[in-house]
Structure 1
Amino acid sequence: MKQHDTEYELDRTFQRFEDLHLNEIEKKETYRMLINSIDRTNKKAKLARFFHSAIPVALTTFLLIIGGLFGAHLLFTNEQVVPGTELMDEETAINELKPTDFYEFRLVAFFEEIPYESWSEDESLDPELKRQFQIYEELMTIDSLDRLEEFHILIPDSEYVEAFGVTEFPTFIGFDHTGIYMTTNELEDVESFMDFVQQQQSMSGAIAISKIEDFPYDIKKPAIMPFEPTWTQVEGSIVPYRSSYLNIDYSDEENRMQVFILSHISIEDPPGEHELPRESFQQVQLSDGRKALYILDGRTQVLLWDDGELNYRIIMYLDERDVEKYTIAELVEIADSFE
């Protein structure tokens, strides 16, 4: 299995710097400290080595205070617990760490310490830490870790240690979209988890669905409609790592309205192959100020907007081609009613 080289890990480091919420001065200073401390050789080194020899102790402390989470993907997302505030419970921790997508998975690894560069030559190293460092090194050689949506490495300072009741190191917790999939102290179980991840993500083609509850996202539906539907049909599909959709078709004898919901799509994205260019749309606003796009397109009126990680579209079918059946204000009112 391949090792990650220094240049690759540096790229991943700076891709995650935005999560630190630093101002420009702090970013430049952090960058300067990091660059000045790196041994510019062609030797390959694991990411964890930066934390003991390459990066000064002051920078390490600074990053730990701000982030609390660091590892293969450098996810500095853990806020430190302020004295006197309520500690995180397990349910809250699970909700923060579990992915939302049906085919996304996350792994959290708890270690007592992160290996430093010369740990294998340190004769005074505690045997227990040596065992953990060896497991850490083996963990980093698992190529399939790149399939994870997020991968965190945490140390005892993290509030997640108490939330999950971690008392042994290392401890590994794997998450799917429902919550905790596995908890283990064994690296073999992590490898089995990653085999499961690969198996799930290698499924080809779309999974057809015909029920709203089968869609792997929490959705909203309109509380206001311009007619009373007498017939409703649901269909959709789930496609790993691509846009999944749900279509709810409402109609009566004279009217038809579709609510089309997509994942991995935003009104800010370039249009798809079979979509009209964005300049063809009229920009409007929902009552809460969110941006929406409107178009009269032959036999339909369409209003689309983003809500969280999903894109919503109201499609109203017309009685006459290019003749608006509803005002934009009426469509916005329908969109505002989604709950």
Structure 2
Amino acid sequence: MIIMVILNAFTVKGYGEAEYWFAMIKVLTVIIFIIVGLLIDIGILGHVKIGFHNWKIDGAPFYQGISGIIASSIALAFAFGGTESISITAGECANPHRDVPRAMNGTIWRIILFFVGSIIIMGLVIPYNDPSLGHDGIKNAAVSLFTLVFVKSGLKPAVHIMNAVILTAILSAGNSCLYACTRMLYALANEEKAPKQFTYVNRRGIPIWCLIFTVLISTILFGLSFIGNKIIYRWLVNIVGVMGFIAWFGISLSHWRFRRAFILQGYSLNDLVYKSLFFPVGSIIASLLTCIFIFGQGYSAFTTHPFSFSNFLAAYITLPFFLIIFFVYKFVKKTRFIPLKEIDLVTNNIMFHQT
């Protein structure tokens, strides 16, 4: 935590420089991981040719079918969350018109290679019923999947190196989350959706009160995660995962409404520096999938006999909190749903204020 605070407390450049090196370590490691995994799969390492054998085990490759996919969606959201932070950094880019499209295009390929590629390698090399994985949730998971692949390779030094890389990845994730939370709280304060004290920025351009508050809450929650046999930790993972899906639903809906409003108000799509390739289908599919995952991720609570109220509560406790905050804000601030033709596309939009 101290390292992350130092990286975020002085300049944005410090955060960016740290993320550059963290990203380089992760990219090189994942590339090596994929290569090693392929060598294991074809039998060059580990001395056993696996091929697609682990995908032919009863129940594989999609264990428990659709319900299994939906049940694992929270872990997916927890791991995948953060890619949207590119839009947050746009406010502090020297040239957002150039840098943000580049970052977005790069993100697409990184997702395909590093997320999907790694998952395929894990599925090929590690059977879903491997005893090292544990089958009672987070509590009994014994080893990282990345580490387990290197264990199967027989490269013992690589196992320790992989564990060290995982620690840097955790540090990188925490660094990014601290940056994003600080800036989001600052943006909320500027929009009068959070206490005005959070609008304060020090001479280095850091919203320092936002940073202090975020660190305080993070430290408290981190301490609570050790209480009650990690039950609170699992609740926190669920809360973060569901909020991630809610955020992506909002992003998808906002994108769809922005594009519709842009056309209805007489602007040309050619004026946009970056255009989503799969609009509007992409936004619609993303909205539907997030809704399915939000409401379906607690499926296991209904299929457990006897009915597990604690699992049900862990799965859906985020929704009432979100809805209460949303409607209380709408009531107090007397805000309304803005028609597409009335949406303000000009204020604070750099595209309309270039000289």
Same fold (TM over 0.5): no
TM-score under structure 2 length normalisation: 0.27
Q: Which has the higher helix share?
A: 2
Give the structure, 1 or 2, with the largest relative contact order (CA under 8 Å, sep 6 or more): 2
More strand by percentage: 1
Q: What TM-score does the superposition give when structure 1 sets the normalisation length?
A: 0.28
